[in-house]
Amino acid sequence: MIPIVTAEQMRALDHQTITEAQVPSLVLMERAGTEVVTHLEARYGPVGGKTVVIVCGKGNNGGDGFVIARLLRRKKSRIHVLLLAPVAELSRDAKAMYQRFHRTAGPSAITRPPDTTALQQRLAPSDIIIDAILGTGLSTPVSGLYRDAIDTINAAGRPTVAVDLPSGLHADTGAILGAAVKADLTVTFGLPKAGLYCGAGIDCAGLVRLADIGIPSSFVDAIGSRLLLLTSASAQAALPPRRPSSHKGTFGHLGIIAGSVGKTGAAAMAALAGLRIGTGLVTAAVPSSVNDILEAKLLETMTLPMPETKARTFARSGLDRLLAFAGSRDAVAIGPGLTTHPETVDLVQEFVKRIDKPCVLDADALNALAGKASLLTECPRPPIITPHPGEMARLEAEATTQSVNEDRLGTATRFARERGVFVVLKGARTVIARPDGVAAICPTGNPGMATAGTGDVLTGMVGGLLAQGVAPWDAACAATYFHGLAGDLAAQQLGQAGMIARDLIRHISHAIAPTTRP
């Protein structure tokens, strides 16, 4: 996993690299510009012959822009720089890079646009726009020509690449400060910034790529960041090895407690996802009258009928049988499609207090704890919970879906600490938090996953890793990463609008393959 840093932490790392590692600031700037060009070509192909307009501010972000302009010109791009400030106001390093570009490209390659009309005229012929206006130091609303430039870039409708951070975005919170560039690609330097994965930053950043500019790893480790970014490498490392001598018992037995009349699909999807993540055996415990339906839907999964209410949901009388069922499995997933029938709610509340196995709680298992989240602290071992914002709001006193979404990171970390559980707060950049206050953000996933059943798939994947003996934190992080990656692979093949949850299940095996990249 990669530490996520604040703007202040990144400034400190830059300063330490310059003063202690003795890497000149202009070298860091040159590396940054080089990385942007590399990622730009990886996304949009060779730049030779393309018209690229770079919009530069007066700070070091603008200096990066002049490096990019010089390097792209060397690759035979048609380059024009729009400079939003007088040369005299440029930062020291930005002025040095301005002079290097000016010497090679000449004065005609640089324009100081006086107004919006001039900006529009210069941006109109562009194939690609580079946003090098404002960086991580912004803390007040954008105004004047800078705001006009941001609005004009957004109105231009061209592929836009943001340098380090979309201009106008708060680096720590993802809030828009007056106006912000909506980039298609953001190349961020050194370490990821929290604002790229929070709030409006998710929409503004587009595809985020991390650029290594040579910050020593020992400096990064010393920061001790409590916020991390999930990576392909960390997710792969969590998967159990598959030795030649392995058999189905090697990879655990997952018990799933799910389903009711009209909601057997939730149980089926969780069960299949559990198998697709590598679990050796999966058994779904279901209300007795829907057992035959699950038998017909599932080929590789076993089922076990349980006592039910007249409404065909789990009955309170089945508690001992469910506890015995859970006790003979390596891990348990409970919640998808249970309903909130009063007897079923009572059953879940008693079950949660007594289950002594690695466990993931989702959907109606969480709704059964609405107003009684304190029961989570009574669990014999800390469970993983996987709420969406509405379920999280029902667990948190005086919370609303809106308040949860406005502070997703704070909500997840606070609840994990207070209740001693692992939280996977689903949504646009899913947040994973653990009881000691450490949290992680998942960079995978897309809006095509906003469809019924994808949460049930995640439940099965988390439970499956738990059954294979993966520790709760690693299971929560890896399952979330691969869940999002499966969604991304499905979207590449099918497009986002028509995706359904079963498409994710079909792509889990591709997502966990070692050669797959996000």
pLDDT by residue (tens digit) across 433-446?
999 999 999 999 99
Quote the mean pLDDT of the chain.
96
Residue 183 in domain? yes
**Residue written as token pair 């559980």:** 421
Q: Which amino acid is at 476?
A: A
The token duo for 63 is 């200096």
Q: Please state, in angstroms and rounded to a whole number, the distance separating the CA atoms of residues 197 and 160.
A: 18
Rounded-to-integer distance, Cα 291 and Cα 317, Å = 17
Last residue of a domain, one of 191, 225, 259: 225
Separation between Cα atoms, residue 76 and residue 74, nearest integer Å:
5
Token pair for 270: 């969780």
pLDDT over 90 percentage in the chain: 97
Residue 517 lies in a domain: no
Residue 500 lies in a domain: yes
Position 302 in a domain: yes
Burial profile 11-31: b = 16 or more Cβ within 10 angstroms, e = fewer: eebbebbeeeeebebbebbbb
Task: Classify residue 74 by burial, with Cβ atoms within 10 Å: 0-12, 13-18, 19+.
Answer: exposed
Mean pLDDT of the region 13-40 = 96
| β-bridge mates for residue 208, sequence order | 186
User: What is residue 314's predicted lDDT score, i.e. its pLDDT?
Assistant: 98
Residue 224 has pLDDT above 90, yes or no: no
270 and 198 both lie in a single domain? no
Eight-state DSSP code of residue 241: P
Question: pLDDT tens digits for 266-286?
Answer: 999 999 999 999 999 999 999
CA 261 remoteness from chain centre: 34
161 pLDDT exceeds 60? Answer: yes
Tell me if 213 sits within 8 A of 182, measured CB to CB: no
Once rounded to an integer, what is the mean pLDDT over residues 27-54?
97
Q: Specify whether 322 is located in the same domain as 218.
A: no
Domain boundary among 193, 225, 257: 225
Dihedrals φ, ψ of 139, to 5°? -135, -5
Record the tokens describing residue 388, joined without a space.
């969406």
Look up the CATH number of the domain holding residue 178.
3.40.50.10260
- Full 3-state SS string of 146-193: HHHHHHHHHHHCCCEEEECCCCCECCCCCCECCCCCCCCEEEEECCCE
Indicate if the pLDDT at residue 516 is higher than 70.
no
- Structural domain includes residue 518: no
Q: Of all helices (H) and strands (E), which one includes residue 82?
A: strand 78-83
Least confident of 55-64, 94-103, 216-225, 412-421: 216-225
Question: How much is the pTM?
Answer: 0.94
Same domain, yes or no, for 219 and 282?
Answer: no
Same domain, 153 and 89: yes
Q: Is residue 364 part of a domain?
A: yes
Question: Percentage of the chain surpassing pLDDT 70?
Answer: 99
Q: What is the mean pLDDT of residues 241-260?
A: 95
In a domain, 516, yes or no: no
Q: What is the pLDDT of residue 417?
A: 97
- With 70 as the cut, is the pLDDT of residue 517 above it? no
Distance CA 379, CA 86 (A): 64
Distance CA 507, CA 276 (A): 9
Residue 397's pLDDT is what?
A: 82
Pairing assessment for the beta strands 331-334 and 302-306 based on DSSP bridges:
unpaired
Q: What are phi and psi of 380, to 5 degrees?
A: -55, -30
Q: Do 206 and 266 have their domain in common?
A: no
CATH code for the domain in which residue 377 is found: 3.40.1190.20
- List residues bridging with 255 in a β-sheet: 283, 332
CA–CA separation, 488 and 511 (whole Å) = 9
Number of H helices, E strands in the chain: 20, 18
Quick: pLDDT tens for 481-513.
999 999 999 999 999 999 999 999 999 999 999
**Structural domain harbouring 187:** 2-225
Pairing status of strand 128-132 against strand 160-163: parallel
Q: Is the pLDDT of residue 515 over 80?
A: no
Average pLDDT over residues 162-171: 97
220 with 253, same domain? no
**409 and 489 belong to one structural domain:** yes
Q: What are phi and psi of 198, to 5 degrees?
A: -130, 150
- Residue 156: band (very low, low, confident or very high) from pLDDT cuts 50, 70, 90: very high
Whether residue 213 is found in the same domain as residue 321: no
Q: Which amino acid is at 151?
A: D
Could you read off the pLDDT of 52-79 as tens digits, one per residue? 999 999 999 999 999 999 999 999 999 9
Neighbours of 376 (CB within 10 A): 21
Strand ordering across the sheet containing 302-306: 2-3, 227-229, 439-441, 431-433, 422-425, 384-385, 359-361, 331-334, 253-257, 281-287, 302-306
How much is the pLDDT for 75? 96
Element (H, E) at 334: strand 331-334
Examine the domain organization and report whether 370 and 483 are in the same domain: yes
Residue 328 CB neighbours (<10 A): 10
How does residue 222 score in pLDDT terms, banded at 50, 70 and 90? very high
Number of structural domains in the chain: 2
Of 419, 441, 421, 422, give the one whose Cα is nearest residue 430.
441
Same domain, yes or no: 264 and 193: no
| CA–CA distance, 451 with 418 (Å, rounded to integer) | 31
Q: Is 395 within 8 Å of 369 (Cβ atoms)?
A: yes
Q: Is the pLDDT confidence value at 518 over 60? A: no
Same domain, 502 and 434: yes
- d(CA 393, CA 411) in angstroms, rounded, equals 9
Do 320 and 205 fall into the same domain? no
> Would 212 be classed as within a structural domain?
yes
* Domain termination residue (choose one: 194, 225, 256): 225
